[in-house]
């Protein structure tokens, strides 16, 4: 009998996160202050983020302890299972072995609580009483609402108004966990009021929601900080708990991945699974491919430029060295809302530049088809974001079939899609469309960037 699931006991849960910066041949360039163009200082960041998170952001230590209080909350859903996708293998008729790490089992339904919990904890430990953040589709907002609850923090989420109205379920999750969720623009902040004055029916944007959340933190330095769900080094660090578990589970399965795959928005679930495997490549010289999968409609890794750009669309954050389409790039309205981001984190960008990881872009009709195949074969309905990783795994498995080689594929199932069924409805109705931006469209927003590099 083939073992289907490889499960760790709670005692086997990792007690440290892995900081890949310690092992990179070229470390990422420093983030720059937007006005001075000098590397940002710790002091400049303390008004926005908790101090321990800033230390982690800048750390070059190889391993960082996971606080006991964080481990305790992780145990609500961790360790997560590693699953052999035998059903999918059969459906594809492939000689390849396919495994996935199931991060969809968290209370919020995605990998995001892996960083929301430590972010809430470090803020709480510093005496912060309120967290602010923005959310587009609501995945990050619900994760931080869940995490803040455990430390008695007030959580304020600014949710882009169109999503607030069109997608009530994640808002209701946030409210169930006790967070306040405001449609952005709101009348709570100066940036929100200004937008409402210009246009009372303003549908909102992620940039505006960020402005509101950051403004709240800056106005209440005594008890409020802002937090972010992807892109930054400390976020990627926290997510490595995924890969640390998976390394042990692959050993239990007596398997070594030839290719490790993750879908790519800002880089956190991709990094979380792949960095502990990349350590084997960097330190032990193990051969393997590591593939980030982005939507064809938002192709920063495969068609973007390596340049300093803002981490956010509003231009508030420091300038980060990254592969980017330019922060003014308007990704089309694909269903994988979590992948509609113009850039990539600094660490992943440097790894891509150094050819230590690779990237591919897939259109959403192919990814949703793979998602439906997976749901039928494995039972779990994947998040539209995660279907990108599944589609890439299917491409690899079919290539293995053509070449008649039995390779081992590992991908991250970053979340489930039970509150994103609209994407499936559209696909099943044949109404889903693909969009690939033209070269001129990408050049336009890339050319708007200041050339710092
Ligand atoms: C937010 C999200 C993503 C994209 O973010 P990354 O930081 O790139 O991981 C992917 N999958 C799911 C389910 C998400 O919620």
Q: At 92, which CATH number?
A: 3.40.50.1100
On whether residue 156 sits in a domain, the answer given is no
**pLDDT tens-digit profile of 17-55?**
999 999 999 999 999 998 899 999 999 999 999 999 999
On whether residue 5 sits in a domain, the answer given is no
- Residue 409: the pLDDT is 98
- Helices 233-252, 113-125: axis angle to 10 degrees equals 130
On whether residue 33 sits in a domain, the answer given is no
- Residue 249: the pLDDT is 98
Separation of CA 111 and ligand 1 centre (Å): 7
Identify the segments of the chain with pLDDT beneath 50: none
Atom nearest to 272 CA in ligand 1: 9
On whether residue 347 sits in a domain, the answer given is yes
Q: How many domains does the chain have?
A: 1
- Residue 312: the pLDDT is 78
On whether residue 62 sits in a domain, the answer given is no
Separation of CA 193 and ligand 1 centre (Å): 30
CA distances for 126 relative to 49, 78, 123, 178, angstroms: 11, 26, 5, 21
Whether the predicted model's global pTM rises above the 0.95 cut: yes
CA distances for 202 relative to 164, 171, 191, angstroms: 13, 19, 12
Q: Report the pocket of ligand 1 as residue ranges, CB < 6 Å.
A: 110, 112, 139, 230, 263-270, 338-339, 383, 385-386, 414-415
Separation of CA 402 and ligand 1 centre (Å): 31
**pLDDT tens-digit profile of 70-122?**
999 999 999 999 999 999 999 999 999 999 999 999 999 999 999 999 999 99
In terms of residue numbers, what domain contains 266?
78-109+234-446
On whether residue 374 sits in a domain, the answer given is yes
Separation of CA 101 and ligand 1 centre (Å): 14
- Helices 233-252, 268-284: axis angle to 10 degrees equals 60
Geometric angle at alpha carbon 257, from 253 and 262, rounded to 5°: 115
Tell me the backbone φ, ψ of residue 95, rounded to 5 degrees: -80, -10
Separation of CA 343 and ligand 1 centre (Å): 13
Geometric angle at alpha carbon 232, from 230 and 238, rounded to 5°: 75
Atom nearest to 416 CA in ligand 1: 13
């Amino acid at each position: 009998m083939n073992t289907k699931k490889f499960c760790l006991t709670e005692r086997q849960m990792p007690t440290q996160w892995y900081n890949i910066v310690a092992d990179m041949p070229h470390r990422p360039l420093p983030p720059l202050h937007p006005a001075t163009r000098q590397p940002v200082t710790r002091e400049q960041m303390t008004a926005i983020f908790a101090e321990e998170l800033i230390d982690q952001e800048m750390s070059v230590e190889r391993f960082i302890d996971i606080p006991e209080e964080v481990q305790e909350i992780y145990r609500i859903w961790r360790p997560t299972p590693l699953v052999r996708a035998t059903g999918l293998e059969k459906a594809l008729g492939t000689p390849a072995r396919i495994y996935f790490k199931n991060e969809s089992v968290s209370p919020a339904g995605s990998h995001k609580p892996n960083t929301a919990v430590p972010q809430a904890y470090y803020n709480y430990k510093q005496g912060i009483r309120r967290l602010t953040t923005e959310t587009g589709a609501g995945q990050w907002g619900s994760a931080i609402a869940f995490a803040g609850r455990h430390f008695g923090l007030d959580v304020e989420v600014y949710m882009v108004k169109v999503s607030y109205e069109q997608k009530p379920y994640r808002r209701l999750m946030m409210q169930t966990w006790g967070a306040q969720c405001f449609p952005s623009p709101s009348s709570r902040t100066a940036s929100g009021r200004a937008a409402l004055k210009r246009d009372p029916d303003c549908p909102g944007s992620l940039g505006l929601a960020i402005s509101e959340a950051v403004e709240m933190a800056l106005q209440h330095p005594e008890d409020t900080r802002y937090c972010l769900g992807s892109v930054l080094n400390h976020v990627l660090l926290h997510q490595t708990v995924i890969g640390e578990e998976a390394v042990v589970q692959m050993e239990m399965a007596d398997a070594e991945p030839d290719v490790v795959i993750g879908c790519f928005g800002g880089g956190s679930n991709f990094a979380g699974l792949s960095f502990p495997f990349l350590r084997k490549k960097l330190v032990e010289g193990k051969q393997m491919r590591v593939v980030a999968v982005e939507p064809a409609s938002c192709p920063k890794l495969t068609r973007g430029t390596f340049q300093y750009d803002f981490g956010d669309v509003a231009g508030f954050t420091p300038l980060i060295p990254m592969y980017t389409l330019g922060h003014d790039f308007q990704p089309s309205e694909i269903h994988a809302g979590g992948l509609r981001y113009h850039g990539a984190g600094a660490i992943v960008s440097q790894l891509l530049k150094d050819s230590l990881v690779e990237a591919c872009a897939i259109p959403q009709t192919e990814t949703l088809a793979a998602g439906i195949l997976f749901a039928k074969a494995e039972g779990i309905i994947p998040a539209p974001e995660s279907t990108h990783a599944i589609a890439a795994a299917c491409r690899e498995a079919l290539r293995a079939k053509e070449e008649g080689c039995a390779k081992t594929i590992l991908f991250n199932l970053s979340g489930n899609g039970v509150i994103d069924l609209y994407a499936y409805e559209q696909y099943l109705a044949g109404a889903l469309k693909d969009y690939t931006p033209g070269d001129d469209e990408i050049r336009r927003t890339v050319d708007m960037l200041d050339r710092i590099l």
